Amino acid sequence: MGNHLDRITHLSYSELPTGDPSGLEKEELRVGVAYFFSDEEEEVDDGGGGYTKDPSQEGPGAVSELEYSAFCSQECIFSKLRENQDLNVYSAKTLLSMCKPGDLVELVSTSQAPHWAVYELNDQVIHLHEGEIRKDSLTEIGRGRRGRIVNSRYRFRPLPSDLVLQNAAGHLGLHSGDICWTSSENFAAWCRFGKREFKAGGEAHSAEQQYFLKVHLGDGTRNGHAHTLVFRSLEDMIRERRRVDASGILKELSLGVSGGKE
């Protein structure tokens, strides 16, 4: 175990002009991903495991989860780092008071990949669930789970809120055969940013265009370790990150690094 851990946690950190706090240099990159892709769409259930406080409580809480940063051509395109953003989660009732039309909402649980939705108005969200684009109550789908607003998770330029809602509402009622997104996150992010890369097969694969996902292991991005995964498309990168979130494959390694164990 010790030798294996050394092989995947050897990366260092440096400053980049992109402004991302973790940094990424070409000589650091390692191809280290196994592709176990499937056309998944996670269930929204009442499992709330992993929270530091009861999901029904109103104040902010925390959930045990991995942190990530992602790059394309050395430009930071995605960041989920506790050191530079609020990763606290809230009850659905509290989240409802924080949301504005066009916001992206993420419902989290340690037992599943996060579920994303576009907030509309009056407790209503539009989301991809069980192979259908549908409208539901945020308090209903968030029951037993906690969530947060994730508008700034991706670093792309957002569309105006009215266009975000138009994108979402324009696809209500579509079912699996007509849907070109492989997860709730892909659909919600496409609604907000309008980038075809969020669609299945939305970009041509090329040797020049690569995506790099840093999975941060241990406490913090400066003192911790990271495992860098390489992908040929944004869709592939999102799918693998969600698979890791759902399976917890790297969580034991993260705990081992934090505690100095092999």
Q: What is the pLDDT of residues 121-153, one digit of tens each?
A: 999 999 999 999 999 999 999 888 899 999 999
For residue 64, pLDDT beyond 70: yes
Mean pLDDT of the chain: 77
Q: pLDDT class for 5, splitting at 50, 70, 90?
A: very low
Q: pLDDT class for 57, splitting at 50, 70, 90?
A: low
For residue 250, pLDDT beyond 60: no
Report pLDDT for 249. Answer: 63
Report pLDDT for 58. Answer: 59
The residue among 227, 238, 208, 206 whose CA lies nearest residue 32 is 227
Is 119 within 8 Å of 100 (Cβ atoms)?
Answer: yes
Q: pLDDT class for 222, splitting at 50, 70, 90?
A: low
pTM for this model (two decimals): 0.77
Report pLDDT for 91. Answer: 92
| pLDDT tens digit sequence for 13-51 | 232 233 333 344 443 443 433 333 334 445 444 444 444
Report pLDDT for 85. Answer: 85
Bridge partners, 117 (sequence order)? 105
Mean pLDDT lowest for which of 49-53, 138-142, 185-189, 202-206?
A: 49-53
Mean pLDDT of the 231-242 span:
93
For residue 186, pLDDT beyond 90: yes
Separation CA 145–CA 259 (nearest Å): 28
For residue 60, pLDDT beyond 50: yes
Report pLDDT for 74. Answer: 86
DSSP assignment of 216-237, as one string?
EESSSTTTSEEEEEEESSHHHH
